[in-house]
């Protein structure tokens, strides 16, 4: 009887957790997302697309795939890999304002050897990291280095970002290792976006969990 009770409790816990999680990618198409690039000649269907159950972008020109919804107070999980060579990309958080190439946001960097760096992007937007306040200006978009040595995997292998956005704080883990933590963020909600910036990259297993 005790074994059965424990099994039922574990099942209820799993079901409860599953209900809290919201998948942002259905593995079939880009429902809930839209692509942006500042070039009317680009075929958006060939810019970001679904291939073999994962999201892929050719990487050029610069642009992004943005959620239609905005989010706040959440835990985000994203897996990515560079199928050919590692160059540059990013996970864009609290994306706000009209679409443009350098739209206002915070970024969990995906640049090769800089995965885990934190970028403050948007004139006047702020974040405090390591006791120092970083302010984005028209000319300077602060890039704050990760706190631990690079732990990204080589091209062809899958990596994970686990990001917690709670109130005015953002915490970032790369493959389970804490790499950055920001407080006093001036942005506390917005869309989520996947960046195209330089090379082919793939994304999968994207989910969000609401937190209090």
Extents of the domains making up the chain: 23-210
Q: Which of residues 102 and 20 earns the better pLDDT score? A: 102
Q: What pLDDT score does 20 carry? A: 83
Q: What pLDDT score does 95 carry? A: 98
Main-chain phi, psi angles of 202, to 5 degrees: -125, 150
- Where do the DSSP E strands lie in 68-182? 74-81, 90-96, 104-109, 118-121, 126-129, 132-135, 143-144, 159-166, 169-174, 177-182
Q: What pLDDT score does 161 carry? A: 98
Angle at 189 between CA 158 and CA 101, to 5 degrees: 65
Burial of 175 (0-12, 13-18, 19+ CB in 10 A): middle
How many CB atoms sit inside 10 A of residue 24's CB? 21
Model's pTM, two decimal places?
0.90
Measured in whole angstroms, the distance separating CA 154 from the mean position of its chain's CA atoms is 19
CATH number assigned to the domain with residue range 23-210, chosen from the 4 options 3.90.1150.150, 3.40.50.2030, 3.90.550.10, 2.60.120.560: 2.60.120.560
Q: For the chain, give the percent of residues with pLDDT over 70.
A: 91
pLDDT in tens, 172-199: 999 999 999 999 999 999 999 999 998 9
pLDDT value at 26 more than 60: yes
pLDDT value at 85 more than 80: yes
Q: What pLDDT score does 184 carry? A: 98
Q: How far is the CA of 153 from the CAs of 79, 113, 200, in angstroms?
A: 12, 10, 16
Q: What pLDDT score does 8 carry? A: 43
Q: Residue 141, SS3?
A: coil
pLDDT value at 5 more than 90: no
């Amino acid at each position: 009887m005790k074994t059965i009770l424990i099994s039922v409790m574990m099942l209820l816990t799993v079901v409860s957790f599953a209900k809290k999680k919201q998948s942002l990618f259905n593995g079939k198409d880009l429902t809930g997302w839209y692509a942006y690039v500042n070039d009317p000649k680009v075929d958006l269907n060939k810019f970001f697309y679904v291939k073999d159950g994962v999201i892929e972008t050719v990487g050029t020109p610069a642009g992004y795939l943005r959620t239609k919804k905005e989010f706040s107070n959440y835990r985000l999980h994203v897996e990515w890999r560079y199928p050919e060579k590692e160059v540059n990309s990013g996970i864009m958080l609290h994306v706000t304002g009209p679409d443009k190439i350098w739209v206002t946001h915070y970024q969990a960097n995906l640049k090769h050897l800089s995965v885990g760096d934190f970028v403050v992007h948007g004139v006047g937007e702020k974040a405090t990291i390591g006791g120092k306040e970083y302010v984005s200006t028209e000319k300077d978009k602060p890039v704050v280095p990760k706190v631990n040595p690079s732990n990204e995997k080589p091209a062809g292998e899958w990596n994970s970002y686990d990001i917690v956005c709670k109130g005015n704080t953002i915490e970032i883990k790369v493959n389970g290792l804490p790499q950055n933590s920001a407080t006093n963020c001036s942005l506390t909600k917005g869309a989520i976006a996947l960046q195209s910036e330089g090379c082919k990259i793939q994304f999968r297993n994207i989910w969000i969990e609401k937190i209090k």
